[in-house]
Structure formats: structure tokens, C-alpha cells
Amino acid sequence: MQNFDFDLFVIGGGSGGVRAARMAAQRGARVGLAEAAAMGGTCVNVGCIPKKLYSYAAHYADAFEESRGFGWVGEAPVLDWEMLKTNRAREITRLNGIYNQLLTGAGVKIITSWATLQDAHTVQMDQQIFTAKTILIATGGTPTVPAVTGREHVVTSDQMFDLKPFPKRLLVVGGGYIACEFASIFNGLGAHVTLVHRGEKVLTGFDDDVRSFIATEMGKTGVNLQLNSEIASIAKTAAGLQVDVKDRSGNITRVLADTVLYATGRVPNTNGLGLETAGVVLNDKGAVQVNGHYQTSLPSVYAIGDVTARLQLTPVALGEAMVVVDHLLGAVTGRKPRSMSYDFVPTAVFTHPNIGTVGYSEAQARQKFGKVSVFRSDFKALKHTLSGSPERTLMKLLVDDATDRVVGLHMVGPDAGEIVQGFAVAMKAGATKAVFDSTIGIHPTAAEEFVTMREPV
């Protein structure tokens, strides 16, 4: 039998790669991991974590404003953008260190280098070549910007966390997770934000009521949404970036911006990895093609996370990592091997207000189940009876009439992600509307509305 340097070699130290390497090493495997940039990948360095920190920062603006209705008086503080950036950077550096420690503590050998695949069992780095029984590709994804006149003037989410100076006028292109979140966050931080989206509604794939509702709520907070529109050109002028926005009728509106953020999707990091040469097949999206065990066309090479372009979410990459480790090394004693299901994956969009969702949209549910009952509630939260904020909350349940199972649950409102996470457990367990109805609410909360909606619309 061939002797390998490692049992498992992981390329990419992001959400999926770190989890897989650490778990495999803890189970006694000899593990190596190559990371070309900062440990923790997209989520830790330029994704979930810094984004959520900035979202918290942005929420203070509302809190200061709303506190007046509760009797707080005095000048509202102003944002020190440089201090926010410094504090964020310090926290991210701390997290990078923790990830490094967790890996080395578990016995993983870290190589700080770009890695390429040479063949089914060999990886090459700057100075070294290693062999491994199994290789795991967890190289994530990168923002993509379409061809447009003036493309050289735009930034992507990767640059947004360290902008200098703070962009007083921000134009965001796209209508997905990143576009909506950054539009909300920078609006909260004090920028004048214009969001330009080619579609009729933002957040393709989400429930239609959610999509309309969030657009209205974002509009109320001051985000200027230009839907059914595209960018004709971007030019640098003395007054700022001059962006010509074209609507469906061909009318051009000129917008001046300090920063233009393109949030038009991400592509898998497969370039320069040597995949094709080694014989790893890519699918039509340019993502690594895997089977149900995350095995590529080369049986000793596996792939997980954003590089496979399925659901691009950190908890999904983590879940896939654990499935691969169980598959390779066997389950932890006394437990069943983990499996991964892409049904009822909950997700949140950290717009202001937040969106939380699990299960099917109304359109998807009707297509899949036929007869579906819809329960919907749209209300002003108790807090806003005094805060003066015009914000409203939306909650929606979709029930499959044949089985009474709740198959979709959607919320737009404060802490929607926190609230929906708990309901996702119930929905994974197959909770019916009767179970929801028999659950006692917690009063006074917004969340209790999910167990008190009685009449379908």
C-alpha cells in the first residue's frame, strides 16, 4: 500500500475546510491544510462576521432615534467610521488567531500558501509537494462583476469593510443577499444609498410577499430602490462617480456616488487550482461536480462549500464538512454517520429589518403540494407604538392542506433570523399547523404571532 504524507489534505481554510480539518485531526487522522490568505475564509474575514458587526453598528442609529419616544433626551452620538473599522479589524484578527490555534491544537499542519492539485493524491504549494490519501477542495468563491463601461471604478463586498473615507453616497448594483444587506447597513451608518436592480423585485427565490414587503420597508428607511433598471455606464468625474442608470423604457437617470458596489453574485474558486489537468470535472456553472458523498470525478478528491455552488451559506459548508469526515473516518462512536439534507435550510438576510425564512415560498409550495393554506400577519410591533418608527413586521405560514404540515415560514422584522432558527427545528421535525396552534405563545413578543394565526387568507 502506498505511504502518503497525510490521510487528508484540505485546500482552503474557510468555513468548510477548517471544520473538516479540525474534526478529522481530532479523530486521529494526519491532516494538512493550505490557506493562501487569512484563516477563516470569506465568512470570518469579508463575509458573515464583519457584515453582522457593521449591521449591529447601523442598528444603533435607529435605536438612538427611537429612544426619544421612550423619554431619552439629548444629542444622538455620531459615527466614528475609523473607530468602527479598527475595532472590527481587531476582532477579525482575534478570530484568525483562534482558528489557527484550534487547528494546530488538534494537530493539523497549516501551510500558508496557494495550493494546486497535481494529481489524484498530490498537492503542490510554493515550496513543497505533499501526498495525501484524500484531498478536500474547500476553496470557496469570489465576487463576479459583469462587463460594464467603467467597471474599473467599482468595488465588491471584499472592499466594503475598509473603505476610506466613508462613502456618503453609495450606489449598489444587484438585488440579492449582499446588495440588500449592504444597502441597509450603509444606509443605517449614514450613507445616501441607491440600489439598482434589474428585476421587478429584489431577492429572487424568496417568497413574493417577503420581496415586496422588504422593498417597502427598505424604502421607508431611506434606501432609494431603482428596480427594473440597469447600469448603462460609470464614469469618474470631479463630482464623484457618475452612474447612468437605464430603466426598462430606456430613460436614463444620472446618479452621483462616492462608491459603486457590485453585488451581482459569486463564482466558485476553481481557477489556477489545476483541477482540469488533474481530471476533476466541473459542472456548467464552473463549480466542482460532486456526488452524494461530495466525491468528485477523482474518487480520492472531495469538494465542499461554495466551490460546489450549491447553497452558499456557512452552516451548509460546515454541515457538508462533517458529512465528509464521517464518510471518510466513520462516525463518532455511538452515533450515526451524519447526513446532509438541503430541505428546510433556514436562512436570514440581515437587511433592516431582517428577513428570516425556512422552507418553501408560496409559489414553490403551490407547485410542489398543490393545495396550500396561507396564514399572514402584517403588524406594527409593540415597541413602535412609542418609538415613532413606521416599521412594520410581516409573518407568513404556508401549510400543505393534505398533511397539515407547515412547509413555509417567513418573517420580515427585527431579529427574524433569531426567531426563525427555533421554528426551523420544529419544521424539520415535521410540525403541523395543529402543533403550531397547540403551542402556547410567549407574551408579549412578536414571535408569538406564529402560533396565534388562526384564519387563512
Task: Rank residues 163 and 431 by Cβ distance to ligand FAD and give the closer one.
Answer: 163
- Residue 315 binds to ligand FAD (criterion: CB under 6 A): yes
Q: Which of the choices ligand FAD, ligand NDP, none does residue 359 contact, using the CB cut-off of 5 to 8 A by kind?
A: none
- Compute the least distance from the CB of residue 421 to ligand FAD, in Å: 12
Q: Which of the choices ligand NDP, ligand FAD, none does residue 349 contact, using the CB cut-off of 5 to 8 A by kind?
A: ligand NDP
Q: Which of the choices ligand FAD, ligand NDP, none does residue 317 contact, using the CB cut-off of 5 to 8 A by kind?
A: ligand FAD
CB contact at 8 A, 246 and 380 = no
- Residue 51 binds to ligand FAD (criterion: CB under 6 A): yes
Q: Which of the choices ligand NDP, ligand FAD, none does residue 268 contact, using the CB cut-off of 5 to 8 A by kind?
A: none
Task: Rank residues 324 and 365 by Cβ distance to ligand FAD and give the closer one.
Answer: 324
Instruction: Candidates 40-48, 290-298, 403-411, 443-451: pick the segment binding ligand FAD (CB under 6 A).
Output: 40-48
Residue 112 β-bridge partners: 35
The rounded distance, in Å, linking the Cα atoms of 215 and 200 is: 11
- Residue 11 binds to ligand FAD (criterion: CB under 6 A): yes
Task: Rank residues 310 and 433 by Cβ distance to ligand FAD and give the closer one.
Answer: 310
Tell me, residue by residue from 149 to 188, as one string, x for binding to ligand FAD by CB under 6 A and - for no binding: --------x--------------------x----------
User: Which spans of this chain sit near ligand NDP (rule: CB under 6 A)?
Assistant: 146, 173-179, 181, 197-199, 204, 263-266, 312-313, 347-350
Residues that bind ligand FAD (CB under 6 A): 11-17, 34-37, 41-43, 47-48, 51, 114-115, 138-140, 157, 178, 269, 273, 305-307, 312-315, 317
